[in-house]
Amino acid sequence: MRLPRPLAAALLVTTLAVAGPSLAQTPVGDALQRPALAVKAPQRAVLLAAAQAGARIVAVGERGIVALSDDRGASWRQAPSPVSVTLTMVRFADEQHGVAVGHGGTVLTTDDAGASWRLRLNGRGLAELAKAAATTPAAQQDADRLLADGPDKPFLDVLQWDAKRLLAVGAYGLAFYSANGGESWTPWMDRLPNPKALHWYVARRGGNTLLLAGEQGLLARSDDGGQTFQTMNSPYKGSWFAGELRADGQAVLAGLRGNVWRSTDGGAQWTQLASPVPATITAMAVDAKGGLLLASQAGVVLRLQGDALLPLKAPPVPMPSALLPLQDGPLLTLGVAGVVSVDAGALQ
């Protein structure tokens, strides 16, 4: 079986070390139906993604943990979560409406800035949806496989146009769209150019442009809001784990062994960016000034300056999985050590 992320195996081991004895006290049962266990310090849990809901920071991670901060990361509290599966990504369309996705085909939504969450989809439901929507023998076979496998496949990224429109993508080509805030879903696997059912790791949107990237150099682009997708020629045949569509139209993708590539013409041509760290890039984010920040599996945070990536003057961060730059404040990194703040002075 292909691992869905470069950190997947390491995170499983590290979760045991971070959770300590509390993990052994977790009630036995189905993690898709069991609420997340309350922890004393959610900011120290293994956290994989974060987003801002207005002034609030919402972070998600292992065992369904959702952590909230209303003071720019100075203090944290845990929000109730209806599942105890790992949550891999969270995004907000506005100050109130957000979505989180994760293992077991999980999709959660909130309409109160992350204070409470509703389970909208899981692996059992998506398999049934795929079965009902299958119109070809190949699609029927794929749906039967999803049903037989059970809810074992994670969503790894999600797009949110607004409070209603959502697109969740993930392992083995999973792609499901909702036009009503998660009340109902439509499989999009048939409209995406992915005949090998490779993993989708990255989903980004800029206006009507959608960029999807994943395993073995997999790239797809839509210029009509997702109605149609076209395969893009990839400059690199390794997996992409991070990416951004910048306001100036540039696309930047990064992945294994420090590979970082940039396109300024919609993906027709790509230029490799020199990186001083030959380690897998695991996170990428755009700061308030439009600058691009990246983090590597080695714990080094980098800033894009011109055509080069320069390391910040900051200590390495233990296995970062996400970056959240705060306006006029520090950079928050998330990973196996929970939330770690990088001094704003190091970003100059």
What are the pLDDT digits (tens) for 103-114?
Answer: 999 999 999 999
CB 137 within 8 A of CB 87: no
Q: What is the pLDDT of residue 11?
A: 44
Q: Region 172-196: what's the mean pLDDT?
A: 96
What is the bridge-based pairing of β-strands 77-79 and 66-69?
antiparallel
Please give the structure tokens belonging to residue 333. 């990194």
Whose CA is closest to 47, among 32, 61, 30? 61
Q: Beta strands of 11-130 (E only): which ranges?
A: 47-53, 56-61, 66-69, 77-79, 87-92, 98-102, 106-110, 118-121
Q: Region 148-173: what's the mean pLDDT?
A: 96
Cα angle 158, 164, 168; round to 5: 20
What residue has token string 């990237």?
213
Q: Region 144-157: what's the mean pLDDT?
A: 92
Is the pLDDT at 34 greater than 50? The verdict is yes
CB 204 within 8 A of CB 193: no
Instruction: Report residue 305 CA to chain centroid gap.
Output: 25
Using CA atoms of 56, 6, 17, 82 in order, give the dihedral in degrees to the nearest 10.
Answer: 50
Average pLDDT, the chain: 90
Separation CA 168–CA 176 (nearest Å): 5
Could you tell me what percent of the chain has a pLDDT over 70?
A: 90
pLDDT 10s digits, 288-336: 888 999 999 999 999 999 899 999 988 899 999 999 999 887 899 999 9
Report field, pTM of the whole predicted structure over 0.85 = yes
Please give the structure tokens belonging to residue 185. 């879903």
C-alpha dist (Å) from residue 36 to 29, 66, 67: 12, 9, 11
Q: Region 98-126: what's the mean pLDDT?
A: 97
What residue has token string 């805030």?
181
Cα angle 257, 261, 262; round to 5: 160
